[in-house]
Amino acid sequence: MNEAVSGQVSRRGLLGVAGAGLAAASFSPAGAANTAPPATRTAGARRRLGSLEVSSVGLGVQNMHRTYQTTIPDRAEMIRIIRAAYERGVTLFDTAEAYGPFEDELILGEAAQPFRHQVVITSKFGWNIGPDGKRDAGDPLNSRPEHIKAAVEGSLKRLRTDRLDMVYQHRVDPAVPIEDVAGAIKDLKAQGKVLHWGLCEMGLETLRRAHAELPVTAVQNEYSMLWRGPEAEVLPLCEQLGIGFVCWSPLGVGFLTGAIDAQTAYAPGDIRAGETRFARENITANLALVSLLKRWAAAKQASLAQIALAWLIAQKPWIVPIPGTTQMAHMTENTGAMAVRFTPSELRELNAAVAAIRVKGDRLPPPVQAFSGVEAPPRRS
């Protein structure tokens, strides 16, 4: 049964497990003392988002309270996965108050306690969520300074920490100048409650203004072989300004692992059912990406997921994917991407092959897409 319906472990097959094992085997030199996460001993397994050093692959803690299929994962297992990710070298853990709301921050806060000071924890504000976890039905966004500060206080408590290593504006609030948002972050930084900040899915001019007001450490946008939109303008601007880039949905909500095909049926509430890139009239053409990944996975003795993640890592030294999962085997597989390498000629060949495939359909349902690329209003005089 397809995992989009069943949620079972088998979605990536034996090649994925074998590839993860091969990648993991290359992490630790013979005789190396096991005193640090494996990635800290692997060349190329760490990189910088601005001045913030993180692992080359992070862990997105978004669906640990509820999967795409709307099933509820076992909380104890989610904690084990987070802790195992750290043991495999992951030092970037990303969540948000909106995930749940609040539930994924609570899970990460509990899981990260044993190694809190060895990792980077990031969260997000910007949705109009009250302290009771209820969303405002009338005005979905809220980046007023007083709300930002209250949201960060809530995140700190749920994450059981005294500071957020980085906090993002989850979506741009069209009613609040970005300079006002930066001012709230300045206050939080002065108090030691926030160390770095970033923006998600923002308009380009908003990013320029935000960075001019208070240097931005990272941008978080969707980016994968399935959605390459940031390549046109966002990535060049990040490079120009010296801003890191974090990729959400780096596996195309499971598509790039081979989990979705033309026969896939979606459970009620699964957001992928509303993404036209997976509609029957488009998915056959888009499956060319999966075929390409299969060829490279066989050549590299890796899994499809590892090739897709390694491709992102290879694009720029300041790009970090944050795949999410609720399965231990998939986390192990994903972190194995840190050991996959492409020669310059291989990367040129793979880039050309990816560019030759024209992805059909939209990446998000229109009501969700409407929150991306928004520009903040002018600063009030």
How far is the C-alpha of 372 from the C-alpha of 15, rounded, in Å? Answer: 36
Res. 41: pLDDT tops 80: no
Render pLDDT for 126-138 as a digit per residue (tens, 0 to 9): 999 999 999 988 8
Which residue bears the tokens 């990260």?
A: 112
The question of whether 99 is a catalytic residue gets the answer: yes
Render pLDDT for 295-316 as a digit per residue (tens, 0 to 9): 999 999 999 999 999 999 999 9
How far is the C-alpha of 31 from the C-alpha of 249, rounded, in Å? Answer: 36
CA 328 to each of CA 101, 324, 334: distance values in angstroms, whole numbers, following the listed order: 23, 11, 10
Quote the pTM value: 0.89
Mean pLDDT, to the nearest integer, of 356-374? 96
Render pLDDT for 79-126 as a digit per residue (tens, 0 to 9): 999 999 999 999 999 999 999 999 999 999 999 999 999 999 999 999
CA 20 to each of CA 26, 63, 69, 338: distance values in angstroms, whole numbers, following the listed order: 10, 22, 25, 10
**What local confidence, expressed as pLDDT, does residue 243 receive?**
98
Answer yes or no: are the C-beta atoms of 263 and 2 closer than 8 Å: yes
- Give φ, ψ of 219 to 5 degrees: -110, 140
> Which is the catalytic residue, given 68, 86, 99, 168?
99
Answer yes or no: are the C-beta atoms of 210 and 237 closer than 8 Å: no
- How many C-beta neighbours within 10 Å does residue 56 have? 26
**What local confidence, expressed as pLDDT, does residue 16 receive?**
37
Mean pLDDT, to the nearest integer, of 264-286? 94
Chain mean pLDDT for the chain: 90
**What local confidence, expressed as pLDDT, does residue 12 receive?**
44
Render pLDDT for 140-189 as a digit per residue (tens, 0 to 9): 999 999 999 999 999 999 999 999 999 999 999 999 999 999 999 999 99
